[in-house]
């Protein structure tokens, strides 16, 4: 297959789906709660069932125009009436991710802790792995990086694994993970996975990439510190 260079792909839209790879109701030992904690058992079962169903209908769109891109969940306002949407989309999936390859600018607009934030994210440092696999008709290559986040137990490091294809030489991907020599076709972290279901390059219609501007401007470190203090306050409340 001919290499589709970024210079040729001036604009486009990539559609992703998300799947959860591990549900609590499918974990070992969960059946033990059926008799001992029937209320908890039925609640978890209901949440997992509805989340699975909802994920089949939710899509995420990556739009790019020249050297900019924006990624977000599609038709989020229409989905908000479903009380399981927040669980299915997840905190990372509800954000708006913007990237500008010309000035190396990466932003994330997110609602968290009762406030809107505009987070200036650092450049991702990838480790390229000598592994390949075929995704659809594309030859893909593996890369990994590390994500740092807060939890009730403190700072947590999580490996992020992606598969990208140089055959579509677009340096973008889902939830802000880009900067590789090819489109990110698949991304896995925690217990979920994003994967491409549709690729539209150079459509006749205009592709709009609008840089997010709303929210309190913070760095990644400042945002993690805000999250840390919020969790500490929550602990004190119990």
82 or 92: which leads in pLDDT: 92
Q: Which of 191, 194, 185 is nearest to 164 (CA)?
A: 185
Q: What's the structural domain count of the chain?
A: 1
Domain membership of residue 205 (yes or no) is: yes
Q: Return d(Cα 209, Cα 213) in angstroms, integer.
A: 13
Range of the domain at 98: 11-236
Tell me what pLDDT residue 3 has. 40
Q: Return d(Cα 205, Cα 129) in angstroms, integer.
A: 37
Domain membership of residue 4 (yes or no) is: no
Spatial neighbors of 123 by CB under 8 A, at least 6 apart, are 104, 106, 179
Q: What is the pLDDT of residues 96-152, one digit of tens each?
A: 999 999 999 999 999 988 899 999 999 999 999 999 999 999 999 999 999 887 666
Tell me what pLDDT residue 168 has. 94
Region 74-85: what's the mean pLDDT?
68
Domain membership of residue 6 (yes or no) is: no
Tell me what pLDDT residue 153 has. 66
Calculate Rg over the CA atoms of the chain: 19
Tell me what pLDDT residue 190 has. 86
pTM of the predicted protein model: 0.86
Tell me what pLDDT residue 5 has. 44
Domain membership of residue 45 (yes or no) is: yes
Domain membership of residue 218 (yes or no) is: yes
Judged by average pLDDT, the poorest of 60-64, 75-79, 82-86, 175-179 is 75-79
Tell me what pLDDT residue 140 has. 98
Domain membership of residue 5 (yes or no) is: no
Domain membership of residue 185 (yes or no) is: yes
Q: At residue 232, does pLDDT exceed 90?
A: no
Tell me what pLDDT residue 193 has. 95
Residue 162: pLDDT band with limits 50, 70, 90? very high
% of the chain exceeding 70 in pLDDT:
86
Region 76-101: what's the mean pLDDT?
79
What average pLDDT is seen over the chain? Answer: 86
192 or 36: which leads in pLDDT: 192
Domain membership of residue 118 (yes or no) is: yes
Tell me what pLDDT residue 230 has. 80
Residue 2: pLDDT band with limits 50, 70, 90? very low
DSSP letter at 28 equals T
Q: At residue 178, does pLDDT exceed 60?
A: yes
What is the token pair recorded at 27?
């974990």
* Cβ neighbours of 189 (radius 10 Å): 19
């Amino acid at each position: 297959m001919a290499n589709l260079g970024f210079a040729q792909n001036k604009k486009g839209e990539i559609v992703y789906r998300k799947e959860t790879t591990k549900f609590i109701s499918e974990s070992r030992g969960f059946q033990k709660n059926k008799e001992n904690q029937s209320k908890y058992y039925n609640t978890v079962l209901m949440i997992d069932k509805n989340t699975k169903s909802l994920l089949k209908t939710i899509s995420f769109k990556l739009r790019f125009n020249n050297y900019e891109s924006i990624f977000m969940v599609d038709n989020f306002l229409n989905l908000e009436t479903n009380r399981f949407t927040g669980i299915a989309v997840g905190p990372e999936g509800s954000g708006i991710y913007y990237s500008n390859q010309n000035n190396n600018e990466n932003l994330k607009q997110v609602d968290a802790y009762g406030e809107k934030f505009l987070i200036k994210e650092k450049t991702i440092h990838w480790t390229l792995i000598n592994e390949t696999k075929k995704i659809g008709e594309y030859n893909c290559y593996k890369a990994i990086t590390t994500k740092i986040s807060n939890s009730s137990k403190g700072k947590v490091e999580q490996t992020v694994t992606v598969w990208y294809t140089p055959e579509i030489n677009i340096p973008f991907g889902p939830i802000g993970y880009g900067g590789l020599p090819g489109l990110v076709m698949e991304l896995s972290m925690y217990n979920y996975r994003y994967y491409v279901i549709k690729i539209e390059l150079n459509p006749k219609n205009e592709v709009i990439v609008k840089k997010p501007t709303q929210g309190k401007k913070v760095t990644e470190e400042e945002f993690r510190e805000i999250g840390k203090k919020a969790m500490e306050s929550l602990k004190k409340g119990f």
